[in-house]
Structure formats: C-alpha cells, structure tokens
Amino acid sequence: MKTMTCRQLGGPCDLEHRGESADDVINAQDQHLKAAEKAGDAAHQSARDDMKSRWRHPRKSLGWYRDTKKTFANLPED
C-alpha cells in the first residue's frame, strides 16, 4: 500500500489517497475531485477540469499518467 496526496496528483489539498497501484490512487483522486466539484469547492475546480480532460484525451495525457506511475513506484510502502 502506498499513499499519494491530492496535491501530488495535481490538486490543491493534502488529502491522502492510498492504494496498491497508481491506478488505485488516480481513481481515488478522480472520486475526490468529483465530490469536491459537486460540493461547489472552487479550489478543486481546475484540478477537476484537468482530470476530465485527461479522461477525454488519454493519448494526450499519457505523459501525466506515466509520470504519476513513476512517482508512485518510487514511493515507500506504507
């Protein structure tokens, strides 16, 4: 299990997401940003817009995805 924060994933806060894989924390971040958007949290809006863009344009976003996977791989186990 490893931990990445919302900020490490491009967001504005330090909420921690834990997972066995980078995909786990990316999905947790997506859910967090959806909930923040629904709650009207303006601080998270640009990160949510970025995340939506990545899901819509996966080829264009491969660099972010690869970087996130590399960062996750280099983290220590919790």
In the beta sheet, which residues pair with residue 3? 18
**pTM given for the model:** 0.89
pLDDT of 70 above 80: yes
Tokens found for residue 33: 């940003």
Task: Identify the CA nearest to 35 among candidates 21, 22, 51.
Answer: 51
Of 1-5, 12-16, 28-32, 59-63, the range with the lowest mean pLDDT is: 59-63
pLDDT at 67: 94
pLDDT at 52: 86
Q: Kindly report, residue by residue over 22-58, the tens digit of the pLDDT.
A: 999 999 999 999 999 999 999 999 999 988 888 788 7
Any long-range contacts for 50-56 (C-beta under 8 Å, 24+ apart)?
Answer: 50/10, 51/10, 55/30
DSSP secondary structure, 40-58, as one string: T-GGGHHHHHHHHHHHH-T
